[in-house]
Amino acid sequence: MTAPHLPKVAGINPPVPAPAHTSAPAVPTPASPAPGPAAAVLVQDRLAGLVSDLTTLQELTDRLARTGTLDDALRELLRAGASLVGAGRGLVTLRPAGGTGGHPMTVGLGLGRADLGHLETLPADRGPATGTGTGTGAEDDPAADDIAAVPASPYPGLLDDLPPEGDRTGTAHPDIPAEDGRDPRHRAVAERLGYAASYAVPLESAPGPGRTGGAAGRIGAAVWLYDEPAEPTERQRHLTGLYCGYATEHLARLLELTDARRTVAALHEELLAGRLPRVPGVRLAVRHRRGPRGGGAWYDALPLPEGALGLAIGGITGSGPAVVAATGRLRAALRAYAVMEGEDPVAVLSDLELLLRLTEPARAATALFAHCRPAERKVVVAGAGHCSPLIVGPGRAAYVETSLSAPLGMLACWEAPSVEIRPAPGETLLFYSDGLLHRAGDSMDRAFARLHRAAASVPRTARHDPGAVADHVLRTVLPVEDGEEPGTADGEDVIVLAAYFE
């Protein structure tokens, strides 16, 4: 049986149908082309770029996480941001801690104080900007008045056109000299300081559950300056935004910590003697360098009956607000015991030890109390685990040999004999806290020898001034570096109390 012939169409042969007893041939589907060498190289380059970006961010954030102070963190933020956006200079400004009044904190990179002063004079104009997050000028945007950069920012000319809070995109000015609408004063300052472009990024915490008010919202802004017309690429913007997001959280925590430390330091300062008493026959001076954690070092000087004077110095183990409160209680108790039993320093410290053991059983404390009669130049000293005082004069510089005793709260019953000292006219009795001896890598023997050399090297012209004696000892034992305050290896409080006998 043959298949019927289909009619022909003009010029076209009709297709022959397949036999009924056979299946129709499968229609071939176009296969996906195999990836060529160029596509594979592109994918590898993209993956390598992502790995490089992640590695860079990890290194930069690790360095930032190792900073323990707000100033160090701001400087690290500027250095890292400059490397990410390819700029050479910049500045970062933070609003005051807690959002209260006061001047914002500003740190510059490659900018001196005079340069920062020039930047503060920039007018707050809203000329058109170029790049992500700039928008239009105030004349075109009715909501431009609602756009705020950093509240109370001292640099409105650099930060006035940042996006509103909630938008963390950066603002670029790629060519300030050629930018239309820019205030001529801005061009003059840019020419004076030698920059031609800028890129500013807000420092704003991401919203999240459980965030405290001090760490939420915009806390500041950073701006980097280019010497030539330039702007960061999209990749640089993205990396800078990720880094600044992490940095903002770190800075917010440091701001809260700094504010808490400042409060503790102010409380500690109020608990110590605000004014040293004036007692005939003796002149007093004290130098107090607070540690960053709010330690338990304390001192006191109080007038006693019959023209006597009580001098005390000591410390409590630990740091923080609880230790500061315990220090205040201990000092108040010693004042009461000194008035009642001041002529017997051993009885004063014995009563203090009993009180400490009953009310602060988990703490130990060192203390040294001296009952002075300046008219007779007689001093009776008793110590509980505290360092021996130094006597400094024209003919000698020596430690007072006090008896070796345990700190308060360490034994069931504390008692140690007192020592009588007879300072000569023109000699200074020097009391100091343990923090003066602590420095990284030094043993206690070396620390005592270093302090003795410092006391012996007091200039002749300074020996009649107790303040000058205390300053010389501080500068020699804990030298100042880079304009910072003298400090110890672990950030303890440092106290030097000097009594000059006339």
The predicted-structure confidence for 467-491, as pLDDT tens digits, reads as follows: 999 999 999 998 865 444 445 545 6
> What's the token pair of residue 351?
């009563």
Say whether both 132 and 183 belong to one domain.
yes
Q: Span 262-266, mean pLDDT?
A: 71
User: Of the ranges 139-143, 183-187, 440-444, which one carries the lowest mean pLDDT score?
Assistant: 139-143
Using DSSP's 3-state secondary structure scheme, residue 415 falls into coil
Per-residue pLDDT at 348: 92
Look at residue 172 and tell me whether its pLDDT is greater than 50: yes
Q: Is 486 among the domain residues?
A: yes
Which residue range(s) make up the domain with 165?
Answer: 57-263
Q: Cα–Cα distance between 259 and 219 in angstroms, integer? A: 14
User: Is there a single domain that holds both residue 430 and residue 400?
Assistant: yes
pLDDT at residue 1 tops 70: no
In this structure, the answer to whether residues 99 and 174 fall within a common structural domain is yes
195 pLDDT band, cuts 50/70/90, is very high
Residue pointed to by tokens 């500003």: 106
Given a contact cutoff of 8 angstroms between Cβ atoms, the answer to whether 126 and 108 are in contact is no
Q: Considering the domain boundaries, does residue 22 fall inside one?
A: no
Q: What are the backbone dihedrals phi and psi of residue 420, each rounded to the nearest 5 degrees, phi first?
A: -100, 135
Is a pLDDT exceeding 80 seen at residue 430? Answer: yes
Least confident of 316-320, 412-416, 452-456, 497-501: 412-416
The domain boundary, picked from 263, 294, 314, lies at: 263
| 293 and 244 in a common domain | no
The reply to whether 20 falls in a domain is no
- End-to-end C-alpha distance for the chain, whole angstroms: 143
Confidence at residue 158, expressed as pLDDT on a 0 to 100 scale: 74
What secondary structure does DSSP assign to 372-409, as a single string?
Answer: EETTTTEEEEEEEBPPPPEEE-SS-EEE--PPP-PPBT
Given a contact cutoff of 8 angstroms between Cβ atoms, the answer to whether 273 and 301 are in contact is yes
Per-residue pLDDT of 3-14, as tens digits, reads 444 444 334 444
- Residue 5 has φ and ψ, to the nearest 5°, of -85, 135
Distance of alpha carbon 227 from its chain centroid, rounded?
30
How large is the average pLDDT for residues 307-318? 89
**Residues 244 and 338 both lie in one domain:** no
Question: Which of 359, 341, 450, 375 minimizes the C-alpha distance to 409?
Answer: 359
Do the domain assignments include residue 124? yes
Confidence band of 214 (pLDDT split at 50, 70, 90): very low
- Do residue 195 and residue 328 come from a single domain? no
Predicted local confidence at residue 360, as pLDDT: 83
In the predicted model, what is the mean pLDDT of residues 318-322?
Answer: 75
Nearest CA to 224 out of 107, 115, 92, 90 is that of: 90
Q: Residue 78: is its pLDDT beyond 90?
A: yes
Q: How confident is the model at residue 151 (pLDDT cuts 50, 70, 90)?
A: very low
As given in the structure block, the two tokens for residue 195 are: 């920059």
147 and 206 housed in the same domain:
yes
Domain ends where: 246, 263, 280? 263
- Overall average pLDDT of the 32-36 stretch: 58
Tell me how far CA of residue 309 lies from CA of 25, 280, 382, 433, in angstroms.
116, 10, 14, 20
Q: Is residue 330 part of a domain?
A: yes
Averaged pLDDT for residues 66-75:
89
Same domain, 379 and 475: yes
Residue count of the chain, please give it. Answer: 502
Q: Are residues 101 and 223 in the same domain?
A: yes
User: What domain count does the chain have?
Assistant: 2
**Residue 278 and residue 161 share a domain:** no
**414 or 409: whose pLDDT is higher?**
409
Q: Which pTM value belongs to this model?
A: 0.58
411-425 residue pLDDT tens: 766 677 889 999 999
Same domain, 283 and 149: no
CATH number at residue 213: 3.30.450.40
Q: Which of 224, 239, 263 is the last residue of a domain?
A: 263
Percent of the chain with pLDDT strictly greater than 90: 32
In a domain, 9, yes or no: no
pLDDT of residue 167: 75
Does residue 30 fall inside a structural domain?
Answer: no
Res 373 pLDDT > 60: yes
| pLDDT value for 381 | 93
Can you give the CATH number for the domain in which 322 is found? 3.60.40.10
Please indicate, yes or no, if residue 31 is contained in any of the structural domains: no
Residue 453 near residue 383, CB atoms below 8 Å: no
The pair of three-digit structure tokens given for residue 61, joined into one six-digit string: 């954030």
Whether residue 435 is found in the same domain as residue 297: yes
CB-based contact 436:451 (threshold 8 Å): yes
Mean pLDDT of 452-475: 92
Residue 105 pLDDT class (50, 70, 90 cuts): confident
